[in-house]
Amino acid sequence: MATDDPKTEKTEKPPAADSAMMRMARAYVDTGKVDKATVETAAPQTLSEDDIFGEAGFGAEAGVPSEVRRVLQATLSLRSLPKDAEIKIAPSTENAPQGKFEYGWCYTDHKTGKEIRKDYRTVDYMNDEPYATRVHAMLEQLGLPAPKDGEIFRGTHHDLLFLNSHGVVVRIGPQDIEDLINPGILQPLGWFEDGDNKIKHGGRELPLTVAIYPGIELSNQYYDAKQKPALAGSLYDILSATNQGTGDVCSEGNTGIIRVLDDDGQEVAVQLLVDADNEWNGASKDMREKKTSRMREQSASAAQSQSGAQAGAAAPLSKGDILFNTLSTVFNAVKNVRYWEKAYEVHQPLRHMFWEAFGDVPAVTGLPKAEARTRFWETCAAVTNKPREMTLPVWQMKKDEAGHISYHRQEIHVPHLVLYRPWTGADADRIIQPIKQSAGLRAGVNKEHLNKFGAGYQEHQMDAFMRGADKNLGQRLMSLGRRVWRDIRNF
């Protein structure tokens, strides 16, 4: 992959010690739950090599204008930090429909979607028992109405529900989510997995799963656009480098685009595999074992922290955080992976909200948190075709040389959270809005670049311009500039 800038990266300078988090932490000393020495030594520190926000590219690079920007960091323990999981949403002047669910139809697929293709599967997950009753129970848990027959799109291996009102796709059928954890594959916002009902698929017994995926721009839309940002490398290469199956990469309609910001604050397009299938896109045995080990390690350490915590305290590590840490720590050594990890982070606020509502809720029988569920769906509706800024807390995992795991509360800023619904085929749903940058973010970019390049900053700006300009025009301008400078020097 040739698009990634080979410039040497450096870690981000720590923010001022008297940050909002530190002021909050000092105030928390007054409660008596944490001593002053702990707080005074908990100032944000320069990122280390093992920091998942370093090489992985989550805003710790010189450019700072990554898709996810670090706002502040505190190194307090799980027990010390007061629980504060509020997600702050930038105000919008438009009111989106919040409560009414409306199913749509996919008009962009080469399949009709009206009937099950018997060559690939015989089970009707929406009507055949013992699956149908359990699927409808999981839809009810999600707060979704029962779809009509004409609203169920019959995919090759799954039944699909296209939720026009909320910009997401519900995928129903056999699936191993863990096997498909990869930065090059579109990851779900959340899912229910019914392990008591296994379905044979691709030579394996897979659990009946109901998963919610974010609606994103399709690759066909991207290629048809007159003006578009450059691709951030090769999807095939990133899947191959991460030992993930590539069987569906070349299939028409199986890839999509998420736009992020590069180190120069310019948009780039990240291509991902959508509608991935375990049979064709599963992980290698070694990679699967590595991911499984990392996820179990996190779950065990979170449970241990919870058991040792004070009465009434809640472990902050959700499935969303576990997925976040797995993607960030397992794959961060792969060359050029950082843009794919930025693309994953675009929808992290919605994952956070989903697991806040449905975490620890057993599939089929469990009761979700009603208010949190409403907040998740309201936010999905609010950002459908309407980009919004969001700030949210996550828990960053660190592991020392002795193998001890600790977590640090991280607050990240997502400048462009949006859900698209390209399946409608309507012109209004083909409009992709550019990422809006605030004046403060642009100023931060310039400041960090000056710190990195110093006197060579202007030359770096010219290089960035040439990369984004027409190649022939860039060559002509460069040649003209050199000739003018030569004439001035020899005058």
| pLDDT single digits (tens) 275-291 | 888 887 778 888 878 88
On whether residue 158 sits in a domain, the answer given is yes
pLDDT single digits (tens) 14-38: 333 333 333 333 443 344 434 444 3
Question: Does one domain contain both 348 and 484?
Answer: no
Question: Does one domain contain both 416 and 478?
Answer: no
Question: Does one domain contain both 248 and 351?
Answer: yes
Question: Does one domain contain both 417 and 463?
Answer: no
Kindly state the tokens that stand for 75: 């190194």
How much is the pLDDT for 444? 52
**Pairwise CA distance, residues 406 & 77, whole Å:** 7
Phi/psi at 350 (nearest 5 deg)? -70, -35
How much is the pLDDT for 91? 55
**Pairwise CA distance, residues 147 & 415, whole Å:** 34
Question: Does one domain contain both 338 and 482?
Answer: no
On whether residue 363 sits in a domain, the answer given is yes
Contact 417, 168 (CB under 8 A): no
On whether residue 52 sits in a domain, the answer given is no
Domain that includes residue 484, residue range: 439-491
Question: Does one domain contain both 162 and 257?
Answer: yes
On whether residue 43 sits in a domain, the answer given is no
Question: Does one domain contain both 367 and 456?
Answer: no
On whether residue 45 sits in a domain, the answer given is no
User: In the Cβ-directed half-sphere of 182, how many Cα atoms lie within 13 Å?
Assistant: 31
Q: How far is CA 271 from CA 8, 46, 255, 303, 405, in A?
A: 24, 31, 7, 36, 33
Kindly state the tokens that stand for 299: 């779950």
Question: Does one domain contain both 177 and 232?
Answer: yes
Kindly state the tokens that stand for 327: 């993607």
Q: How many CB atoms lie within 10 A of CB 45?
A: 13
Contacts of 236 (CB under 8 A, 6+ apart): 246, 249
| Final residue belonging to a domain, choices 421, 437, 453 | 437
On whether residue 58 sits in a domain, the answer given is no
Contact 209, 190 (CB under 8 A): no
**Pairwise CA distance, residues 138 & 395, whole Å:** 28
| Final residue belonging to a domain, choices 420, 437, 454 | 437
Question: Does one domain contain both 381 and 446?
Answer: no
What is the SS3 assignment for the chain? CCCCCCCCCCCCCCCCCCCHHHHHHHHHHCCCCCCHHHHHCCCCCCCCCCCCCCCCCCCCCCCCCCCCEEEEEECCCCCCCCCCCCCEECCCCCCCCCCCCCECCCCCCCCCCCCCCCCCCCCCCCCCCCHHHHHHHHHHHHCCCCCCHHHCEECCCCEEEEECCCCEEEEEEECCCHHHCCCCECCCCEEEEEEEEEEEECCEEEEEEEEEEECCEEHHHHHHCCCCCCECCCHHHHHHHCCECCCCCCCCCCEEEEEEECCCCCEEEEEEECCCCHHHHCECHHHHHHHHHHHHHHHHHHHHHHHCCCCCCCCCCCHHHHHHHHHHHHCCCCCCCHHHHHHHHCCHHHHHHHHHHHCCCCCCCCCCCHHHHHHHHHHHHHCECCCEEEEEEEEEEEECCCCCEEEEEEEEEEEEECECCHHHCCHHHHCCCCCCCCHHHHHHHHHHHHHHHHHHHHHHHHHHHHHHCCHHHHHHHHHHHHHHHHHHHCC
**Pairwise CA distance, residues 60 & 73, whole Å:** 12
Contact 147, 220 (CB under 8 A): no
On whether residue 36 sits in a domain, the answer given is no
Question: Does one domain contain both 353 and 473?
Answer: no
Single out the residue of 316, 357, 408 nearest to residue 45, CA to CA.
408
Question: Does one domain contain both 364 and 329?
Answer: yes
Kindly state the tokens that stand for 348: 């992290």
| Final residue belonging to a domain, choices 437, 452, 468 | 437
Q: What is the DSSP string of 186-238?
A: PPPSEEEEEEEEEEEETTEEEEEEEEEEE--EEHHHHHH-SS-PPB-S-HHHH
Contact 253, 222 (CB under 8 A): no
Question: Does one domain contain both 144 and 244?
Answer: yes
Single out the residue of 125, 124, 146 nearest to residue 134, CA to CA.
125
How many domains does the chain contain in total? 2
Q: In a structure prediction context, what are the per-residue pLDDT tens digits for the chain, which is 491 residues long?
A: 444 443 333 333 333 333 333 333 344 334 443 444 433 433 333 333 333 222 222 222 323 333 333 332 333 333 333 344 456 666 554 444 445 899 999 999 988 999 998 888 989 999 999 999 999 999 999 999 999 999 999 998 999 999 999 999 999 999 989 888 889 999 999 999 998 888 888 788 899 999 999 999 999 999 998 889 999 988 988 898 888 888 778 777 889 999 998 877 889 999 999 988 888 777 888 887 888 787 777 766 555 544 444 333 344 566 777 777 888 778 877 877 889 988 998 999 999 899 999 988 999 999 999 999 999 999 999 999 999 988 777 666 676 777 676 767 777 778 899 999 999 999 999 999 888 876 655 665 566 566 666 666 566 656 655 555 544 455 456 556 666 766 676 65
On whether residue 263 sits in a domain, the answer given is yes
